[in-house]
Structure 1
Amino acid sequence: MNKKLIISSLAVFFITSFKPAKQGVVQPPQSAAGYVTPAYTPLPLGSVKPKGWLLNQLQIMRNGTTGHLDEVHEKIRKDNGWLGGKGDNWEETPYWLDGAVPLAYLLDDKQLQTKVLKYINWTLDNQRPSGYFGPITKAEREQGIQVAAENCSQGEDWWPKMVMLKAIRQYYTATQDRRVIPFMTKYFNYQLKSLQQCPIGKWTEWAASRGTDNVMLAQWLYGITKEPSLLELANLIESQSFPWSTWLGNRDWVIGAAAQQNGDHWMRRHAVNVGMALKAPAINYQRTGDQQYLKSLNTGWNDLMQLHGLPMGIFSGDEDLHGNDPTQGTELCAIVEAMYSLEEILGITGDMQYADALERMTFNALPPQTTDDYNAKQYFQIANQVQVKRGVFNFSLPFSREMNNVYGMRSGYTCCLANMHQGWTKFTQHLWYATPDNGLAALAYSPNVVKAKVGKANTEVTINEVTDYPFGDVVNFQITTKQAVAFPLQLRVPNWCQEATVLINGEKLSTEKGKRLITVNRTWKNKDKMTLQLPMPLTTSNWGRNSRAVERGPLVYALKLEEKWEKGTDEKEGDYFSVYPKGDWNYGLLETIVKEPVQNLEVKVVQPVTDKFIWNIQHAPIQITTSARKIPEWRIVNDVAPQPVTDRTGIFRGEVQKEVEKITLVPFGCTKVRVVAFPVVPAK
């Protein structure tokens, strides 16, 4: 659209400046090297500031483990290797920083910034002359050598360095610290010289399975320096890593993952590896411009959710991919890594289906897997989670510890305790992106304020996004600018929205069908207000074992169950919580609800979404009431509630209680115990 357009009348504006962007993948221009300019560019860290309930969520994290993990987690606290000590030299310190660094700058928290800078500064200041970096290796400590390309085998695993580089990149976008670009350039030169002798998988399969993150970082630096050797390095790392792009495009992989749960090739089924790998085809497309990678991405994502998808928007992974039965678990690390992959995919491709997927995952799967104070987490959550307790579940790993499903700081494995912090922080960062034509794009919605430079003259504007989304269906954008400025502002209309309405300063601009991107290109003035109305339809969706879930907008709704919390202590893993329902949970939805959801589901706003909102049952702002009948024989077996068997019509044909009862549903993200994937029973 012509950015030089001068708006002379409202009528002309209506005709010329309100055009839906093309659906699907945005095709940005390519460089001579084949490198593709991303469709959207993430804004510098700190450009987007959370407000409302989102700000409260981040403040809770700051007051909880995100802000204090180095004080309460022994592995990070004691003699840390990333500060020159002999302690943690693996992934958990970088994992924590990958969430704590953005949190420090999103909240402008100087104390937290000082804390994380200890690790950033030590890492930057202790790079070896060769370019190698990281904790002091055993050979360096005991033999007095320094790691170089010639003796790279005396170094240590590539994998933790990938995570630390992600944290350092975050820090650079917030501060523009001049040390970072030379530091990364030097390290990538070292890598290029070393990888033939010390390939990416030399020490562990973790690095080979997660090499995409290394490729992503090299390509990010190429986007700044245009140094061709960085693309050479990216190609080399890709050739030595798991071929995720091939697997995602090849349906044999996802089918095999559904069929096999043995020890053969389990790393290619590991849900966290898969969550990280989702972005591999997009990263490879960015480097090469090969459209086949986008086809592989689309095939892989859709097949993954078809065979392993759960109603809350994430695939099963306990720890391996494990099918779509609502009693399978999902690791918290898999959720936050998949979210980050979707954010990267969205920026590179501009394909809005991944924004829909991101919101569904964020607003449903993420919130219930931590406690209100963000001090305890659940290693595996279950879709139909009718109790939270110690036990041996039908998980692929692990069995004997029996701590996978409870809420605890150290329950399960502590990788998720360190890694969970990137979920909400990076989602906040990626609410907005910059467009190639000096505009802004709102691709996910939550209360925030963004400050950016737009238009031909890089004029600074502030946009205050006021909304109760994802609970409310109205998003308001209030513009503040010292002078009038022309720039395009893009708005995503989600796939679930049948018809969206845009208003400018209270005047209706246009009504558009869903599943598209709208571009409003005009000269914006101070105090202009744009309103996006996204009516949220009531629908039901079909999931594993012929189950049905109730949906409204981006939220999935689950049975409201009052909770009974019990505290316990494990000798090795410390304090933990079990949660049990106080009421009955064994309900089936009437088949009339599936056939006519609008007529048989009643939505009620029970309380406002305040700035103190917390994702729990007490704060659930929306309730949906409907009719159900109990299934007496639907009971707990081996600690879970196996889905009742249905016929091909999707109806349960066993014994059903005659009485029809009213049940209440609340947003899945507000629950700890629940049923979300309901069997369907006859209406009479």
Structure 2
Amino acid sequence: MLKYILSASAIVLMAFTPLPVKDKPANTFVQPVYQELPLGSIKPKGWLLQQLQIMSKGSTGHLDEVHAKIANDNGWLGGKGDGWEETPYWLDGAVPLAYLLDDAALKTKVLKYIEWTLKSQRPSGYFGPITKPEREQNIQITADNCEAGEDWWPKMVMLKVMQQYYEATNDQRVITFMTRYFQYQMKSLKTCPIGKWTEWATSRGTDNEMIIQWLYMITKDKALLDLAAQIEAQSFTWSTWFGNRDWVMHAAANQTDEHWMSRHAVNIGMALKSPAINYQRAGDSLYLKQLKTGWNDLMLLHGLPMGIFSGDEDLHGNDPTQGVELCAIVESMYSLEKIISITGDIHYMDALERMTFNALPTQTSDDYNNKQYFQIANQVEVSRGVFDFSLPFDRGMNNVFGLRSGYTCCTSNMHQGWTKFTTHLWYATPQGGLAALEYSPNEITTTIKSERITISEETNYPFEDVINFKFAMKKPVTMPLQLRIPAWCKEAIVTLNGKQLRTANGGQIITIEQTWKNKDILTLQLPMEVTTSNWAKNSRAVERGPLVYALKLGERWEKSNEPAEGDYYSVYPTEAWNYGLLQEAINNPKAKLQVTVQPVATPFIWNQQHAPITITAPARKIPDWKVVNGVAHQPITNRTNVYQGETGKEVETISLIPYGCTKVRIVAFPVVK
């Protein structure tokens, strides 16, 4: 450790001297509609707990032992190894996992990095791995020679780690640490702007702004808002792009190397929250319109049935043979969680559940030790190859399952998906109540009006439609409880202790003002109907509640090794996949698609053996629908929406299971007579 690096706790909070900015934020800072709860308030239960336990036993809990980039001479522990994004990425999921599970061993592991990072702060406020000029020339980094520092981007991720650590522990050193760093950043931005080193920081400046504004809500130092505005002025203008429809149309048409960073799916996943972050700072409702326009256009032109946009790595249209990068999914989830907090818009709540329960679980192995860099919606084989990706990668490893297959950014970044979803199941309301905005089995403990209250959310949602909220407290507590009624639900039923309170149509947040007593049981029933939805090239997907369903196929796994990337797995179907759904099933899904529900297994794993729901459907084979270079290009249909080519004579019954339980599948089906 350099001799001049000081402990953050030894420094007092200091005021900022802001640089002038072109567009200063309005005086009105918008408080979030829903307030995030401290890390550890929500504890996973049921199948969600089992998922996090799998992660703890697998790569999330042990990545520093098995991934050489993190394991060897780590820069975030003072070494010469990884000082870039992968260690902070891993900690961004491992830290919340440690506190969600109250895992002492994992806490000890992650705290080693947090303590080093706190103590790495230089007198100027700069922090992070020791730079080459420091190591070789004994240079002390200050705002006057900020070029001796390194890229802003990895520090943005580590700031997210430190924020979560603070939320879990209330360690005041974090506030001092961030205050000093942001003062350094404000002084340095003229000489060392956000994009000085790479476009990664320019494209991801929103993550920096987000933490600055979080700190503002604690310290109330208005100079922080000037700093956030300055970073926004130096970063990609995502909010403007989302509101200006030319951007998304050009992204759909252009796959060259021109401006590819503005089409990079992970950048876009992070940037989704940009209009909400700007709205929070400036109070201009135009940002919310830009967000709505951008999201709708993104999903219209690039959306896939499992609730995410294509990105392999660039945005690549809505054909179900396009790929999706795992990093894009977890970053989009996190952006939606922040958008929900700031805006309170139910549309993004529904979008988050669809993405989480469908796109997320299919892209990792049962033991959470292997991942796919790109998944494909209609994925009829998992193998090495170029496929239809805009980033084929030299060794053709982007579609296989492996610890290091493709690029290892996702190896490190995938851990925030389930953990942050768990921490955002509940929010606090400004009215002194609680809001259950996403549903999964969990238990929340918090204080309402000086009374400790615990609510156990007992459910097998999204596989079942009943959610029981069981209250435990010493004294009755009067508070509003808000519940989300998803748009897909026609009419929800709410009962208290067995007596019906009310019904509610889908697509709204309802508030139940009640004096809650110990052992009260509030039950929310969200009846799920089978429906179909229309996707690219007249394809149809089968849905029920928040889940999308895909063809169940036998799987043959093959293990191989690639010298540069290690062991990996290919997966091939063991039975026919080339089916079209009968038109009569599309016209009358309630009568023609039969649902069978089984108890959710314990332990639960997102795979076909544990799939608790099966939907059977009438279908015919399409003989000419074949695999070409690993890709099952969609059969062409005309305006009748029905495939006009040859089909099998026999009507067969096929089985569909939740998309998240599949590895090889068809989810976007042609329609046949």
1:407 and 2:401 aligned: yes
Q: Is the 8 A contact 1:546 1:646 kept in 2?
A: yes
How many angstroms apart in 2 are the aligned matches of 1:603 and 1:481? 39
- The aligned residue for residue 396 of structure 1 is 390
Match of 1:355 among 327, 339, 349: 349
How many angstroms apart in 1 are the aligned matches of 2:510 and 2:473? 22
- The aligned residue for residue 554 of structure 1 is 546
Q: 1:507-518, aligned counterparts within 5 Å?
A: 507-518=499-510
Match of 2:630 among 636, 639, 642: 639
- The aligned residue for residue 127 of structure 1 is 121
Deviation track 1:74-99 (CA, whole Å, cap 9, x = no partner) reads 00000000000000000000000000
- The aligned residue for residue 188 of structure 1 is 182
Deviation track 1:634-682 (CA, whole Å, cap 9, x = no partner) reads 0001211000000012111011111100000000000000000000011
Match of 2:497 among 505, 510, 513: 505
Q: Normalized against structure 2, the TM-score is what? A: 0.96
1:110 and 2:104 aligned: yes
1:533 deviates by 0.3
Q: Letter of the aligned partner of 2:266 in structure 1?
A: V
Secondary structure class of the residue paired with 2:331:
helix
How many angstroms apart in 1 are the aligned matches of 2:140 and 2:629? 54
1:194 deviates by 0.4
Q: Which moved more, 1:592-601 or 1:91-100?
A: 592-601
1:392 deviates by 1.5
How many angstroms apart in 2 are the aligned matches of 1:651 and 1:91? 48
Q: 1:57-68, aligned counterparts within 5 Å?
A: 57-68=51-62
How many angstroms apart in 1 are the aligned matches of 2:116 and 2:106? 16
- The aligned residue for residue 34 of structure 2 is 40
1:262 and 2:256 aligned: yes
- The aligned residue for residue 660 of structure 1 is 651
Q: Letter of the aligned partner of 1:620 in structure 2?
A: A
- The aligned residue for residue 681 of structure 1 is 672
Q: 1:540-579, aligned counterparts within 5 Å?
A: 540-579=532-571
How many angstroms apart in 2 are the aligned matches of 1:529 and 1:611? 24
Q: Is the 8 A contact 1:393 1:399 kept in 2?
A: no
How many angstroms apart in 1 are the aligned matches of 2:250 and 2:586? 32
How many angstroms apart in 2 are the aligned matches of 1:440 and 1:574? 47
Q: Letter of the aligned partner of 2:276 in structure 1?
A: A
1:346 and 2:337 aligned: no
How many angstroms apart in 1 are the aligned matches of 2:491 and 2:667? 27
Deviation track 1:465-490 (CA, whole Å, cap 9, x = no partner) reads 00010000000000001101101100
- The aligned residue for residue 455 of structure 2 is 463
Match of 1:586 among 556, 578, 590: 578
1:670 and 2:664 aligned: no
How many angstroms apart in 2 are the aligned matches of 1:401 and 1:446? 39
1:614 and 2:608 aligned: no
Q: Letter of the aligned partner of 1:369 in structure 2?
A: Q
- The aligned residue for residue 531 of structure 1 is 523
How many angstroms apart in 1 are the aligned matches of 2:408 and 2:617? 40
- The aligned residue for residue 20 of structure 2 is none
Secondary structure class of the residue paired with 1:42:
coil
How many angstroms apart in 2 are the aligned matches of 1:153 and 1:648? 60
Deviation track 1:329-348 (CA, whole Å, cap 9, x = no partner) reads 00000000000000000000
How many angstroms apart in 2 are the aligned matches of 1:62 and 1:611? 17
Q: Is the 8 A contact 1:411 1:573 kept in 2?
A: yes
Match of 2:207 among 204, 210, 213: 213
Secondary structure class of the residue paired with 2:567:
strand
Secondary structure class of the residue paired with 1:371:
coil
Q: Is the 8 A contact 2:310 2:324 kept in 1?
A: yes
Q: Is the 8 A contact 1:45 1:173 kept in 2?
A: yes
Match of 1:226 among 220, 224, 231: 220
Q: Is the 8 A contact 1:314 1:335 kept in 2?
A: yes
Q: Letter of the aligned partner of 2:468 in structure 1?
A: N
How many angstroms apart in 1 are the aligned matches of 2:602 and 2:279? 41
Q: Which moved more, 1:231-240 or 1:393-402?
A: 393-402
Q: Is the 8 A contact 2:265 2:310 kept in 1?
A: yes
- The aligned residue for residue 229 of structure 2 is 235
How many angstroms apart in 1 are the aligned matches of 2:617 and 2:314? 35
1:537 deviates by 1.2
Q: Normalized against structure 1, the TM-score is what? A: 0.94
- The aligned residue for residue 93 of structure 1 is 87
- The aligned residue for residue 305 of structure 2 is 311
Q: Is the 8 A contact 2:490 2:506 kept in 1?
A: yes
Match of 1:56 among 50, 55, 73: 50
Match of 1:600 among 592, 614, 624: 592
- The aligned residue for residue 649 of structure 1 is 640
1:422 and 2:440 aligned: no
1:324 and 2:333 aligned: no
Q: Please, which runs of 5 or more residues in structure 2 have no aligned partner?
A: 1-24
How many angstroms apart in 1 are the aligned matches of 2:26 and 2:243? 26
Secondary structure class of the residue paired with 2:145:
helix
Secondary structure class of the residue paired with 1:254:
helix
How many angstroms apart in 1 are the aligned matches of 2:190 and 2:392? 36
Q: 1:136-175, aligned counterparts within 5 Å?
A: 136-175=130-169
1:280 and 2:274 aligned: yes
How many angstroms apart in 2 are the aligned matches of 1:336 and 1:353? 18
Secondary structure class of the residue paired with 1:287:
helix
- The aligned residue for residue 252 of structure 1 is 246
How many angstroms apart in 2 are the aligned matches of 1:465 and 1:202? 48
- The aligned residue for residue 616 of structure 2 is 625
Deviation track 1:323-373 (CA, whole Å, cap 9, x = no partner) reads 000000000000000000000000000001001000000000000100000
Structure 1 residues 648, 32: closer, same or farther in 2, change over 3 A?
Answer: closer
1:32 deviates by 7.9
> Deviating runs (4+, > 3 A) in structure 1?
none
Q: Is the 8 A contact 1:367 1:669 kept in 2?
A: yes
Q: Which moved more, 1:395-404 or 1:481-490?
A: 395-404
Q: Is the 8 A contact 2:385 2:392 kept in 1?
A: no
Q: Is the 8 A contact 2:26 2:283 kept in 1?
A: no
1:125 deviates by 1.0
1:434 deviates by 0.5
How many angstroms apart in 1 are the aligned matches of 2:486 and 2:443? 21
Q: Is the 8 A contact 1:52 1:610 kept in 2?
A: no
Q: Is the 8 A contact 2:595 2:614 kept in 1?
A: yes
1:610 deviates by 3.2
Secondary structure class of the residue paired with 2:175:
helix
1:595 deviates by 1.0
Secondary structure class of the residue paired with 1:564:
strand
Q: Letter of the aligned partner of 2:45 in structure 1?
A: K
Secondary structure class of the residue paired with 2:128:
coil
How many angstroms apart in 1 are the aligned matches of 2:228 and 2:621? 56
Deviation track 1:524-547 (CA, whole Å, cap 9, x = no partner) reads 000011000000111000111111
Aligned length: 649
Q: Is the 8 A contact 1:95 1:163 kept in 2?
A: yes
Q: 1:435-514, aligned counterparts within 5 Å?
A: 435-454=429-448, 457-514=449-506
Secondary structure class of the residue paired with 1:491:
strand
Q: Is the 8 A contact 1:330 1:382 kept in 2?
A: yes
How many angstroms apart in 2 are the aligned matches of 1:649 and 1:128? 67
